Structures are given as C-alpha cells and as structure tokens.
C-alpha cells in the first residue's frame, strides 16, 4: 500500500509570493494526476496531500504516514493558525475537500482523511469557552494601535468574504466605512450593509491619504495605490495573500504596514485549555484514521 504524504509550506518559513508559486504548482500537479491529491491553500499555507509519488517541491516540507495525518488534523483544529482555534481555517479545510470532491475519482483515502480532519476541528471547538477571534479582528486591532479610528473613516479595499470581515471589525471599533473594489457595484452593495459608501479601487487609492486607516483583502495587486506617491499614507493592514499593496508603497510606510506574514507571529497568551483539548482530539482522531487505513489495505 502506498503511504500518505503531505507537502507543506507555511508563513513561518516561506514568504507569501513563494507560497503562491507553490500553490500554482500544486494545482497543476492535481490537474495532471486526477484524483490523486488535495490542495489546501490558505492565507498562511500551501499544502498538498496525496498517495503514491509526490511532486518535487524544494521549498516544501514533507511529512508521511501518521505524521501527515496529525499535521492536517492540527491545521483543522487551528493549532497551526495565527490565532489558535480560529474558525476560518476549518472552513478552508471543508472548501479544499469540496473542491477536490467535484471529481468523482478522488482517492477515497484522501476523502476520508479530510472528513476526519473536519470532524476533529468541530470536536475541538465544541467545548471552546473563549473567543479565538479571526484575522480581520487581529488586523483591525493592530490598526487601532496605530491610529484612532472611532468616529473616523476606514477604507476597506476588497468586497469579498475577508473584506466583509474587515469592514465588520472596523465598524465594531466605531469607524465609518468606505469599501473599494475592482467592481464598484459590488463595493456599493457591501457598503450598504455598514451604512457606508462604495467606490472602485482607483478612487480608493485617491481617498487613501485622507482616511484614518486602510484595511486590504484583495485578490491581485492594488497597483493604483502607487499613484498616491507624494502623499502621506495612514497605517495599512493587508491580509491579502500574496500581498496586494505594492512593495514600493510598503517601503514608504516603515512601521505603519502590517502584512499577512506579520500576522503569523503569535502575540499574547495562548489559550492553554483549548490547546490541550485540541491536541487530545488530534491524537485520538489520528489513531482512528490510521486504524481505518489499515483495514482498507
């Protein structure tokens, strides 16, 4: 029986641009090896799980057998996340399985593995007693430490799910919201939820120097922001992966820029009770899966 393997690249070792490149290679490999692998790509990681011969990816770490199973379960439980126990990563594990399951030829061992990981993530969170927060909350918390945003305007670049999360967190902090998107109509629809206004990214770049803070969650670069050269920019938190804010702009901001990889650095006390329970779940569910795998050999 061929052994399970996992190729993993996370933000503590591999920068966002390199992770993006790895994710593209993983996707291409899956397209050629139909049903042989599942890719899990998040803000902070690019991972590929499979059986048989893995692709050669120099920047990725390799785990196999029980260690590969335990790693995925730890990811699903939020033990490898920026914020321990956060919920977004469990959604991403579900999404990875959903994407892979569109092809009915997906190896049933991989399907079972991801089902077990999802079950482990749910079980670990079922007894959670403290809020774990999310990336958007962490980004807005950082912005509040750099600028007074209550009663002032925060520009959110991005009208997708993460952009909405940023807008929600900024509104809770008392900010007035403006949404900028490549699609101004989509920005306006989201902005209405937060009693704000919606504009396109070009107008957002022109507005940026006059707001209290900028929060970014975009797919692709925000090139228009380079046109703000000569104007002082407020603090910017960019949770896009890879970064949407151009490098020339990031260099100008010095300590007033927070990127997705900066968020990987854990701050504050870790939720010890949650970690202990989640690690117990990982051990039990890993053993459960390994026993199932042996029976199917």
Query: Domain residues of the chain, as ranges?
Result: 4-130+273-296, 135-264
Tell me the average pLDDT across 111-116. Answer: 96
Pairing of strands 153-157, 176-181: parallel
Q: What beta strand segments (E) does the chain contain?
A: 4-10, 37-41, 45-51, 61-64, 153-157, 176-181, 197-200, 213-216, 236-238, 257-258
Tokens of 212: 């209290």
d(CA 273, CA 271): 6
Pairing of strands 45-51, 37-41: antiparallel
Q: Which of 26, 113, 130, 129 is nearest to 73 (CA)?
A: 113
Q: Is the pLDDT of residue 46 over 80?
A: yes
Q: For residue 129, what are the CA distances in angstroms to 125, 126, 273?
A: 9, 9, 9
Reported as half-sphere exposure (CB side, CA atoms, 13 A), residue 47 has a value of 28
Tokens of 279: 């690690």
CATH of 4-130+273-296, one of 2.60.120.10, 3.20.20.70, 3.40.50.970, 3.30.460.30: 3.30.460.30
Q: Calculate what percentage of the chain has a pLDDT beyond 90.
A: 73
Tokens of 221: 């670069």
pLDDT number for residue 34: 81
Q: Is the pLDDT of residue 45 over 70?
A: yes
Non-local CB neighbours of 189 within 8 Å, separated by 6+ positions: 159, 198
Residue owning tokens 């399985």: 97
d(CA 215, CA 237): 5
pLDDT number for residue 209: 95
List pLDDT tens digits, range 146-169: 999 999 999 999 999 889 999 999
Tell me the average pLDDT across 111-131. Answer: 84
Q: Which of 74, 5, 71 is nearest to 36 (CA)?
A: 5
CATH of 135-264, one of 3.40.50.920, 3.40.50.720, 3.20.20.370, 3.30.470.20: 3.40.50.720
Mean pLDDT score of the chain, rounded to an integer? Answer: 90
Tell me the average pLDDT across 132-138. Answer: 73
Q: Between these two residues, 41 and 126, which has the higher pLDDT value? A: 41
Tell me the average pLDDT across 53-73. Answer: 95
d(CA 136, CA 38): 27
Contact status, residue 49 vs residue 112, Cβ threshold 8 Å:
no
List pLDDT tens digits, range 249-277: 998 898 899 998 887 664 555 568 889 99
Contact status, residue 154 vs residue 214, Cβ threshold 8 Å:
yes
Q: Is the pLDDT of residue 17 over 60?
A: yes
pLDDT number for residue 83: 80
């Amino acid at each position: 029986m061929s052994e399970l393997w996992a190729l993993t690249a996370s933000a503590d070792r591999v920068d966002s641009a390199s992770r993006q490149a790895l994710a593209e290679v993983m996707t291409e490999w899956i397209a050629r090896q139909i049903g042989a692998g599942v890719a899990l790509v998040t803000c902070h990681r690019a991972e590929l799980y499979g059986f048989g011969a893995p692709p050669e990816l120099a920047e990725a770490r390799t785990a196999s057998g029980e260690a590969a199973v335990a790693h995925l379960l730890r990811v699903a439980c939020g033990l490898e996340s920026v914020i321990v126990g956060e919920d977004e990563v469990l959604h991403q594990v579900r999404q990875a399985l959903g994407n892979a399951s569109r092809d009915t030829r997906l190896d049933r061992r991989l399907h079972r593995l991801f089902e077990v990981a999802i079950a482990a993530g749910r079980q670990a969170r079922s007894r959670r007693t403290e809020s774990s927060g999310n990336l958007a909350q962490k980004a807005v918390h950082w912005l509040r430490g750099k600028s007074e945003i209550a009663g002032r305007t925060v520009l959110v670049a991005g009208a997708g799910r993460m952009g909405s999360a940023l807008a929600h967190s900024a509104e809770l902090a008392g900010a007035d919201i403006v949404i900028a998107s490549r699609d101004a109509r989509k920005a306006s629809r989201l902005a209405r939820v937060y009693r704000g206004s919606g504009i396109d990214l070009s107008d957002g770049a022109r507005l940026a120097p006059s707001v209290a803070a900028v929060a970014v969650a975009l797919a692709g670069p925000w090139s228009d922001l380079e046109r703000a050269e000569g104007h002082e920019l407020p603090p910017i938190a960019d949770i896009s992966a890879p970064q949407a804010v151009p490098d020339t702009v990031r260099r100008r901001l010095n300590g007033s820029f927070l990127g997705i990889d900066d968020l990987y650095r854990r701050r504050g006390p870790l939720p010890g009770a949650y970690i202990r329970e989640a690690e117990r779940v990982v051990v039990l569910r890993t053993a459960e899966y390994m026993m199932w795998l042996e029976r199917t050999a």
